Homo-oligomer: A and B are copies of this chain.
Amino acid sequence: TMMTVRDALNSAMAEEMERDQKVFIMGEEVGDYQGAYKITKGLIQRFGPERVRDTPITEAGFAGLACGAGFMGLKPVVEFMTFNFAMQAIDHIVNTAAKTLYMSAGTISCPIVFRGPNGAAAGVGAQHSQCFAAWYMSIPGLKVVVPYDAEDARGLMKAAIRDPDPVIFLENELLYGESFPISKEALSPEHVAPLGKALVMRPGSDVTLVSFSKMVGECKKAAEELAKEGIDAEVINLRCLRPLDRDAIAASVRKTNRIVVVEEGWPQAGVGAEIAAMVMEDAFDHLDAPVERITGVDIPMPYAKNLEDLALPKVADIVRVAKRVCYK
């Protein structure tokens, strides 16, 4: 069967709401409007306005409210219309949600999923195209999930909601409408995907392509291109940035001896930086070439289409750099 990422997220939330009455949804336009991107479609009709709460446009207020509700044992799923707006609430995410369990010696927990689209969409300019993956992956106390396809979206969303601690769930707007094959197993209401495990999307022996979210698709395409040129690329979908599956990455590098990390966010202290550092720590002796990072260009996102295109990594970039590390 095929399923869109939108339906995967929607069905996962619906099932978890069915399963646990403490789960509720809140955010801007999640109810009557059915979600700005229709991810919460039908949920207010099914579960009522008590459990699907439209909030005013006050991110700090409702994120803090979710923390209090979480403290009391409820399980809020908070939609940020995009993660750009979560910057207004980031103090609650970091200082309240992530740190309280530790500060309270394990007595107060905060089981929240903060979700919404992250990173570049298309034609939305500098203020609304930022990738926050690296920021959140740096924060102990959080788990950070970055699904790619429908299988990821369903299994990881269900795991995120069931996790008793705060989870940042970074979606990609441009993937919502995309259809992916989904396994029968993943369609079961009881299926959850493990948090902290990467997935090999395509095994290969010559070079490892590591990425997350939308860029996994670009890596898959690049791998096909590379295959035509006789390069057998392994594609790894990280799925989770915290905990980060270092072992999976290192194991792949031990096999391929070459790795390219692909992300849409900015380079400095990005996800690629972490993986480069981590590979050096875990598999330095196996590297036949330096770890290469492919990233968004280190500038605010321009609006004009021609420049926006130049600001983001493309399949051709991945192919080119992969060939470089293979010295071809």
Contact = CB atoms under 8 A, between A and B. Distances in A.
Interface of A: 60, 84, 87-88, 90-91, 94-95, 98-99, 102-103, 125-127, 130, 134-135, 137-141, 241-242, 244, 265-266, 268-274, 276-278, 280-281, 284, 289-293, 298-300, 302-303
A137 B138 CA distance: 13
Contacts of A242: 268
A260 B277 CA distance: 12
Contacts of A280: 276, 280, 290-291
A138 B140 contact: no
A276 B270 CA distance: 12
B88 A269 contact: no
9 closest pairs, A vs B, by CB?
Answer: A276-B277, A284-B290, A87-B91, A134-B269, A273-B277, A273-B273, A280-B290, A102-B300, A269-B274
A249 to B, nearest CB: 13
Contacts of A90: 87, 90
Nearest to A133: B269
A295 to B, nearest CB: 10
B268 A138 contact: yes
Given A90-B87, A95-B84, A99-B126, A244 B273 contact: no
Contacts of A303: 103
Given A87-B90, A280-B290, A125 B103 contact: yes
Contacts of A299: 102, 140
A280 to B, nearest CB: 4
A273 B281 contact: no
Interface centre among A88, A94, A280, A281 (most CB of B within 10 A): A280
A140 B269 contact: no
Contact of A298 (B135, B140, B273, B278): B140
A197 B60 CA distance: 38
A127 B140 CA distance: 12
Contacts of A99: 126-127, 300
B300 A140 contact: yes
A301 B99 CA distance: 9
B266 A139 contact: yes
A272 B90 CA distance: 23
Given A84-B95, A87-B91, A87-B95, A269 B270 contact: yes
A278 B95 CA distance: 30
A98 B134 CA distance: 18
A302 B268 CA distance: 28
A94 B277 CA distance: 26
Contact of A277 (B60, B125, B137, B277): B277
Given A102-B300, A277-B277, 4 more contacts: A138-B270, A241-B268, A273-B278, A284-B289
Contacts of A302: 102
